[in-house]
Amino acid sequence: MGNLTPQAFSYVAELVRREAAIVLGPGKEYLVEARLTPLARAAGAADVSAYVSTLQSPARAKQRMAVVEALTTNETSWFRDGEPFEALRTTVVPQLLTQVPPSRRVNVWSAACSSGQEAYTIAMVMAEHAGGRKVDILASDLSQEMLDRTKAGSYSQLEVGRGLPAPMMVKHFRRSGTQWQVSEQLRSMVRTQRINLATPFPPLPVFDVVFLRNVLIYFDTPTKRAILQRVRQVLSPQGFLFLGGAETTIGIDDGWDRTTVGRFTLYRPASAADPTPVPVPSLAWAATAEGR
């Protein structure tokens, strides 16, 4: 335990901003303390501030990357950042209800789903606001362990406390020993599949909504562009792309139009002259998709 010096906090904030385009504003000192204490301890430093002062030599590039990693690891919370799910509720879902024929289910993709909080948050919003429409949420990740966790839908008490409104918790979860279990209704909306975003995608359906939040930061610009182009290929022309708070397509891929909902930016395939082929649902997808 130690008190983080302003200099140490500034250094770390600047490092993370430069390397990962993540903004750590005032008030986030507790986050830096919490995330870096294990690293500081492992390095034998007296406290986080002392550890941070050792990072500044050129020879410490690897340690600096570990610090960036520790601070940008997907925070596994429900309704993460709030606003995207407000936008989903107030703007995206109502539009989907008019533009998606009632006979067709709404398709959503939670890419890089980690332990599944994002996928189940989307499921909760849909269950509450999609007017009973059938919704299918694909949760994908590179890690089989994360996919297994997502599929199980079982969370510890500490995990379930992260950003989940209490009324949502009692509505969609039940206790199971020391864990909290997502309801069968929500679980039935989510299916898992292992997908590596950095390589060509396997056959996929046409999605109405894609969540690609806080994962592009791990890739270089050419790969980011390739991923965004691949995503555009599987997104409906009237579809929506959700990126992380500090992320943008600007300067990376110009095939997107931007629209703001409050302070949040939504991306949609550009309607401009560039004749992007209309995505056709791949027949092979139905055969290879994991059983529902």
Partner 1 sequence: MSGVISVPALELDDVRVVTSDVWTSFLASHEPLEWSPAPLTEPEVMRAAVEIRGEWHGTVTLEMSSAAARTAARTMLTCDELDHEDVLDALGELVNMIGGNVKSLLPSGSTLGLPMVSSTPVRPSVPAGSTEHCRLDLSWAGTTIVVRVWSHATEKEDTPR
Partner 2 sequence: MTTVRALVIDDSRTMRSLLSRQLVALGYEVLQAGHGEEALEVLERAGGEVPHLATVDWNMPVMDGLTFVQKVRSRPEWRSISLMMVTTEAEYDQIVRALAAGAHEYLIKPFTQEAFIDKLDLLGLVPAKALS
**Residue 280, SS3?**
coil
Q: Does 1 bind partner 2 (CB under 8 A)?
A: no
Q: Does 82 bind partner 2 (CB under 8 A)?
A: yes
Query: Considering CB distances under 5 to 8 angstroms, the limit depending on partner class, which of partner 2, partner 1, none binds residue 222?
Result: none
Query: Considering CB distances under 5 to 8 angstroms, the limit depending on partner class, which of partner 2, partner 1, none binds residue 1?
Result: partner 1
**Residue 141, SS3?**
strand
- Surface-to-core class of residue 167, CB atoms within 10 Å of its CB (0-12 exposed, 13-18 middle, 19+ buried): exposed
Query: Considering CB distances under 5 to 8 angstroms, the limit depending on partner class, which of partner 1, partner 2, none binds residue 132?
Result: none
Rg (alpha carbons) of the chain, rounded to whole number: 20
Q: Does 1 bind partner 1 (CB under 8 A)?
A: yes
Q: Does 25 bind partner 1 (CB under 8 A)?
A: no
H or E stretch at 65: helix 61-72
Closest to partner 2 by CB, 6 vs 165, is 165
H or E stretch at 50: helix 48-54
Q: Among 157, 185, 199, 271, which residue interacts with partner 1 (rule: CB under 8 A)?
A: 157
**Residue 197, SS3?**
coil
Between 165 and 194, how does the x/- string for binding to partner 1 read (CB under 8 A)? ----------x-xx----------------
- List own/partner pairs for 249-258 with CB under 8 A and 24 or more apart: 252/221, 252/224, 252/225, 252/228, 253/224, 253/225, 253/228, 253/229, 255/228, 255/229, 256/228, 256/232
Q: How far is the CB of 37 from partner 1 (least distance, A)?
A: 6
Closest to partner 1 by CB, 157 vs 185, is 157
Site size toward partner 1 (CB under 8 A) is: 10
Q: Among 20, 152, 169, 289, which residue interacts with partner 2 (rule: CB under 8 A)?
A: 169
Number of residues that make up the chain: 292
Interface residue list for partner 2 (CB under 8 A) = 23-28, 30-31, 34, 77, 79, 82, 157-158, 161-163, 165-167, 169-170, 174-175
